[in-house]
Amino acid sequence: MSAESKVPAACLIGWPAAHSRSPLIHHYWLRLYGIDGGYSIEAIPPEGFAEFIMNLSKHGFVGANVTIPHKERALQLTAPDARARAVGAANTLYYEGETLRSTNTDVEGFIGNLDVAAPGWDRTDDAVVLGAGGSSRAVVFGLIERGIKRIHLANRTMERAQALADQFGGSVVPLAWSGLDDVLPRAGLLVNTTSLGMAGQPALNVELPLLPSDAVVADLVYVPLETPLLAAAKVRGLRTADGLGMLLHQAVRGFELWFGRRPAVTSELRALVEADLCAHSST
């Protein structure tokens, strides 16, 4: 049976298929808008991934989210857009006619969350991004798209920061971790893309008093909901954007591509996912 002749459904593909908030988010929107659709988790091992997505519609799906360890492979097996190519990974798959296309919605998830949490954040010329992994590439690409002039990229391993600078061009300035104090006083935005500050990980030590009083601090970590970095920023009176907001906003475009309705990130949805996070963090 083709995907077109049944209720439209999307899925999350991962291995292992750990507890994900994606079904919670998409089922909320399906109920809210009265859309007859579905969203499930598909645990697909690496050796079965290519067959699964090349026959995605035959499996009954109009699209999918892709998570670890399949994001890079998804890029190779689909027709990626500029964002997915720049980030080097695809997290959202959808059909355009018979063609299976891919994108990376972490970019718009990050930017969309900032726009809501800290309007006007992009009036700065300088941003500091901590970390040079996959999430960092999505953040850097988004900042370049938004027109930030200088993106100072700090990483413990200078070679990785240099590699990203080489990929993205002159607006990205690689920075040794020890050089952070020199650039923070002129940074209107500080973004943590590392796992530092996450539950079970070491703390992130950054001299927040060096930031301007109107700076914005963003953290991609969402467990805990308020990281030590965000808590310290709030004590200073700085505006913040948390990882949960990015998680919610990155789901928007996939839902729109699959189900034909652009959903809103509401306080009710956030409260629902917060409750789920708190329930599982206490077990």
CA distances from 253 to 48, 102, 163 (A): 26, 12, 29
CB 23 within 8 A of CB 273: no
Measured from the Cβ of residue 45, the count of other Cβ atoms closer than 10 Å reads 11
Residue found by looking up tokens 């989210």 in the block: 65
Please answer whether residues 9 and 39 qualify as being in contact, where contact means their C-beta atoms are separated by less than 8 angstroms. yes
Active site residue 71: yes
In order, the DSSP letters of 179-236 are GHHHHGGG-SEEEE-SSTTSTTSPPP---GGGS-TT-EEEE---SSSS-HHHHHHHHT
* Options 6, 58, 71, 149, the catalytic residue: 71
**d(Cα 219, Cα 225) in Å, to the nearest integer?**
10
- 161/156 Cα distance (integer angstroms): 9
Residue from 11, 239, 257 nearest 113 by CA: 239
Task: Report strand pairing: 79-80 vs 92-96.
Answer: unpaired
Catalytic residues: 71
